[in-house]
Amino acid sequence: MASVSSCNSTIRNNAAGSSMLHPTNNVIEDNPASNENPPTGSIKRKFEEPLGSIVAGHYNNLEEKGLSARNESRILYMRNFNNWIKSYLINKFMNMVRENFHTHSLAAVDLGCGKGGDLLKWTKANIGHLICVDIAETSVRQCKERYEFNKQKRFGAPRFSAEFIVADCTKVCFQSLLGDPTRRVHIVSCQFAFHYCFESLQQAETMVKNAASNLATGGFFLLTIPDANYIMKKLSSEKSNAFGNEVFRIEFPDDRPEVPLLFGDRYQFFLEGAVDCPEFLVHQPTLKRLCLKYGLECVYQKRFSDVYKDAMQDEQSRMLLQKMSALEPYPSPSGTQSSSNSQEYVAACEHLKQQQSDSNVRPCTLTLSASEWQATNIYTALAFKKIELPCQ
């Protein structure tokens, strides 16, 4: 297999935002000294063109919506549900890490961190250091601002130090940009972001290398990706190159080859108010082989519906589900459901009918609309453990 490690296109910003071209190696550098020991919270960036720029552009242009706008979203509960699943997974593997490593200062990489939607999860996980990396510069800036804002809080402020890096992790290795490039982290978490690397073997390999090279032996690489088997089954049952519902749509080009590609099997993914971007199918046997090549052994693989079942066995997760409003009350106390289409709640309605009715209590259940449930269940969670490779 080919391998790539093109680590030569670095851009670093100074406070004024001006930059200088370094003639020898395509490095645009303002403040070379800051490379040695960047202060907590400095942003560095490193990426190449071209599809990455579409993805970065898409996420950069996503508006940072306020709480009230988020609360009105058609997919509010699905977003909460996905956040709850991520919390469960991060906690589960952080607990395993705590058993394996007897250190007080655990470190993590949030690969494809976006605007920092998981910062609170890292605070709760009580880590010592977080490395946030993303291709979208605006998102990384917002992530850093969010971290700094949270630091001012009286309660629940993150106690961990953090660094922020802009890099196309499918094209470049970001390790050299770290404050301490010799640091090995205990968890690399790549949530809803890994699939962008399956554009080509080289890109997938660079992404996996970015995870593996930063992980300590015994640490975990966590990912959530769309399940290619599910998507293929849906396409063949619909006898179409597209499928979707009220909240999402997946559309392959008309000229998609009959024999599926291992890499570069591109489709357009649309998610109500959140994503409208090209993505790539991840062929899971290939992913596992690639990971193993870099000492990452698959130890966990579950569709979200099964992660949900597992999480519901755990009392703390059940409490967190309530706290995070990860499911929608049906019928809604306000009289308005996320979808006005009653067909979206047929399962919840049936469930209520089957429950013994107590004349004094209005029966109520927690659910997701059928469309949101289908959209969340596109995803699979995987975890890989970093193992020592035998000397080659």
Ligand X SMILES: C[S@@+](CC[C@H](N)C(=O)[O-])C[C@H]1O[C@@H](n2cnc3c(N)ncnc32)[C@H](O)[C@@H]1O
Binding-site residue numbers are 82-83, 86, 112, 134, 168, 191, 196
Q: Considering the complex, what minimum distance in angstroms separates the CB of residue 137 from ligand X?
A: 9
Give, for 279, the enclosing helix (H) or strand (E).
strand 275-280
The binding site for ligand X (CB under 6 A) comprises 52, 55-56, 59, 112-114, 117, 134-136, 139, 168-170, 191-193, 196
Q: What one-character DSSP code corresponds to residue 358?
A: P
Placement of tokens 């020592």 in the chain? 388
Q: Considering the complex, what minimum distance in angstroms separates the CB of residue 136 from ligand X?
A: 4
In degrees, to the nearest 5, what angle opens at C-alpha 291 toward C-alphas 285 and 296? 125
Q: How many residues does the chain have?
A: 392
In degrees, to the nearest 5, what angle opens at C-alpha 370 toward C-alphas 365 and 373? 90
Please name which of 388, 338, 335, 342 lies closest in space to residue 364, comparing C-alpha atoms.
335
Contact 250, 267 (CB under 8 A): yes
In degrees, to the nearest 5, what angle opens at C-alpha 240 toward C-alphas 234 and 242? 70
Q: What one-character DSSP code corresponds to residue 342?
A: G
- Give the span between the Cα atoms of 78 and 105, in whole angstroms: 33
Q: Considering the complex, what minimum distance in angstroms separates the CB of residue 193 from ligand X?
A: 3
Q: Considering the complex, what minimum distance in angstroms separates the CB of residue 166 from ligand X?
A: 8
Nearest residue to the partner ligand X, using Cβ: 114
Nearer to ligand X, 122 or 192 (CB): 192
Residue 320: other Cβ atoms inside 10 A: 18
Q: Considering the complex, what minimum distance in angstroms separates the CB of residue 142 from ligand X?
A: 10
As annotated, the binding site for mRNA includes 82-83
Residue 96: other Cβ atoms inside 10 A: 19
Phi and psi angles of residue 276, each rounded to the nearest 5 degrees, phi first: -150, 85
- Give the span between the Cα atoms of 148 and 354, in whole angstroms: 49
Residue 326: other Cβ atoms inside 10 A: 24
Residue 362: other Cβ atoms inside 10 A: 10
Placement of tokens 């007897």 in the chain? 102
Concatenated DSSP letters for 187-208? EEEEES-GGGGGGSHHHHHHHH
As annotated, the binding site for S-adenosyl-L-methionine includes 86, 112, 134, 168, 191, 196
111: its two tokens: 């690969």
53: its two tokens: 């720029």
Q: Considering the complex, what minimum distance in angstroms separates the CB of residue 52 from ligand X?
A: 5
Q: What one-character DSSP code corresponds to residue 43?
A: E
Please name which of 301, 277, 305 lies closest in space to residue 372, comparing C-alpha atoms.
305
